Structure 1
Amino acid sequence: MERRHFLAMLAAGAAAASGCTQPPPAVAEPQVALPATSAPPAVPRVPVPAGALTAIPGPGTSLALTVDDGADAEVVAAYIRFARDTGARFTFFVTAAFDGWTTHRAELRPLVESGQVQLANHTWDHPGLTTISRAAMADQFTRSKQFLLNTYGVDGTPFYRPPFGYHNAVVDEVAADHGYTVPTLWYGSLSDSGLVTPEYLLQCARTYFNAQAIVIGHANHPPVTHVYGQLLDIIRERGLSLVTLNDVFRT
């Protein structure tokens, strides 16, 4: 199965992966997440800046942890439990062809309806959009948009994340034709599109969990499910608040 590489962060104009280059072999024990609040932060919402979105502008203590793909249905389920049990707020960029988004609809939909979890478009089945025709691009957005509407009652607009971070003016135009006017990239990664150790994932979190950052993670492999409590520890130690994109942006 195709997996994005951390080099996509560079193509998206994101930070270099300093301090996150060689995964150590150690494996962390599963952690229990700590209690948190699901209430949105009391921060003023700001307009979405022009161009591709890579960070939350201005001063603040927000952290947008965005979760892509959903290749492993059990990891999707674990993220849902994490949100439900701790109040953590996420934006999921849904690759709609993965069956976990259908299998776990009943558990996820209430979190979407409350606004604690936001859904956005990550295409139907994750092609490199710059390598396919306009018609094929349109089909990717149409199918995923319809899936989100039918399954969760939302369409994910205006945010979309191009697979691998690859987009151009044509991709952005086709996306905008379907209501996705905000190509959403990132400035930091958990580097877990492929299989990594929990220790390496935490090393990346310590590097990139910073104020006003948009960080990318993936619901593809189990290691992230072993370190939820430690991720929350990093967030709390740094005085950060997890937010959805809708929490901080006016659209």
Structure 2
Amino acid sequence: MARLSDEQRRARRARAKRARRRRRHLAGGALLGVVALIAGLALFASGSDPTGDAVAEAEATVARDAPAADGGRAAGRARERAVPKVAIDAIPPLRAGTAEVVQRGPAAGRKVALTFDDGFCADCVTTLIRQLERTGAHATLFPNGTYGSSWAPHARAIRRLVAAGQVIVGSHTFSHVDSPAVGAAAFGADLDRNERWIQQTFGLTGRPYLRPPYGAYDAGTLAAAGERGYTKVVMWSGTVADSNLRSRAYILNAIEHWARPGAIILLHANYPPTAEALPEIVRILRRKRLRTATLQELIGGSPYRPAG
């Protein structure tokens, strides 16, 4: 057999590499096709929303059966989505109690709570909700009613994520008030206003989770919150410091630094890089053998319980 020249060997290796790449692409396309077929059959049978439970179930089924060559990413998404359904048909009655300040959760279970405040950027909220749906990441939302125009278009999707056990909604007050500065009475009125907005918009209660704006509270704040059923005053053990615009690299470095079992991490739905970075945030957590959790999953307290 004639010896191949160096140029011929390089050309042969390049052709082999292209062939492997085409096979991977074809396998990925086939996998997506199976997802679409299963979702379509489920939708035909149930008549449900195509962005709802049928698609999530189909994706989880295909991800569970996918070959190991995907590096475990599909299986990871399936595990994130494998959560019990939650009964949210009725808003639970107010139960007053003593407000407890919580900064972090237990290390057991290797859970991390991603919490998102505010939402004055409508496009950022849109991206955040879509990224939660795509990644299956669990999170807690702390919206302000004053930014209601950002959140209202996603009310149905958020309610669906809550019902799936993937998201919990808390309160960040209506007007983003500095509670010690305005006093307990004004703070309580603003908290009441945000609770009404949460109920009217999402058909849910924000109780018992309160994220005080600026992390500011005093004895009057705690008393007013407890009287209104907000008995979990949630601070944080780490932050990506994105109340100002930060780069994606900055955000990911902060996650690398703060992500550890039981962490409560403060983020905002205010600037594009935060929501856009969510898939990478999830990958970092998985690499650290951590999993995303709602506050209910991390510290308990939600009146919404798994259905059935």
User: Alignment partner of 1:56: what SS?
Assistant: coil
Residue 217 of structure 1: aligned partner: 267
Q: Unaligned 5+ residue runs, structure 2?
A: 1-72, 85-97, 302-308
Q: 2:100 maps to what in 1?
A: 51
Contact 1:40/1:247 (CA < 8 Å) preserved in 2?
no
CA deviation profile, 1:8-33 (whole Å, cap 9, x unmatched): xxxxxxxxxxxxxxxxxxxxxxxxxx
The residue that corresponds to 1:13 in the other structure is none
Q: Of the candidates 118, 129, 138, which is equivalent to residue 80 of structure 1? A: 129
Say if 1:72 and 1:221, in contact at 8 Å, map to a contact too.
Answer: yes
Q: What's the CA shift for 1:141?
A: 0.8
Aligned to 1:69: 118
Mapping 1:101-112, distance limit 5 Å: 101-112=151-162
**Partner residue of 1:97 out of 146, 160, 166:** 146
Q: Do 1:112 and 1:152's aligned partners in 2 also have CA atoms closer than 8 Å?
A: no
Write the distance in 1 (CA, Å) between the matches of 2:171 and 2:103. 16
Which of the residues 153, 173, 179 maps onto 2:229? 179
Secondary structure of the structure 2 residue equivalent to 1:230: helix
Higher helix fraction (1 or 2): 2
1:50 shift after superposition? 7.8
Equivalent residue letter for 2:234: T
C-alpha separation in 2, matches of 1:248 and 1:187: 13
Q: CA contact under 8 A between 1:92 and 1:120: conserved in structure 2? A: yes
| 2:280 corresponds to which of 227, 230, 237 | 230
Instruction: Give the Cα–Cα distance (whole angstroms) in 2 for the partners of residues 106 and 144 of structure 1.
Output: 18
Provide the TM-score with structure 2 as the length reference. 0.65
SS at match of 2:81: coil
Distance 1:58 1:200, change over 3 A: closer
Select the structure of larger CA radius of gyration.
2
The structural deviation recorded for 1:96 is 1.6
**Cα distance in 2, alignment partners of residues 228 and 57 from structure 1:** 23
Distance in 2, matches of 1:222 and 1:250, equals 30
1:39 aligned residue (82, 90, 100): 82
1:176 Cα offset (Å): 1.1
The one-letter amino acid paired with 2:263 is: A
Deviation readout 1:35-66 (Å, 9 max, x if unpaired)? 4122349xxxxxxx983101112433100011
- Per the alignment, residue 249 of structure 2 pairs with 199
Which TM-score applies when normalising by structure 1? Answer: 0.79
Aligned in 2, Cα 1:63/1:180: closer, same or farther, shift over 3 Å?
same
CA offsets 1:184-204 (integer angstroms, 9 cap, x no match): 000000111111111111111
Question: What RMSD in Å do the two structures reach over aligned CA positions?
Answer: 1.8
- On the 8 A contact 2:258/2:265 being kept in 1, the answer is yes
Letter in 2 for 1:39: A
Distance 2:282 2:228 in 1: 35
Runs of 4+ in 1 over 4 A off after TM superposition: none
Once the 2 structures are TM-superposed, how far is the Cα of residue 218 of structure 1 from its aligned partner?
A: 0.3
Which of 152, 156, 167 pairs up with 2:217?
167
Q: CA deviation at 1:147?
A: 0.9
| 1:219-248 deviation digits (Å, cap 9, x = unpaired) | 000112332222122111001110001123
Q: Which amino acid aligns with 1:77?
A: T
Q: Distance in 2 between matches of 1:62 and 1:207?
A: 15
- When structure 1 is superposed on structure 2, of 75-84 and 98-107 the one drifting more is 98-107
Q: Is the 8 A contact 1:39 1:87 kept in 2?
A: no
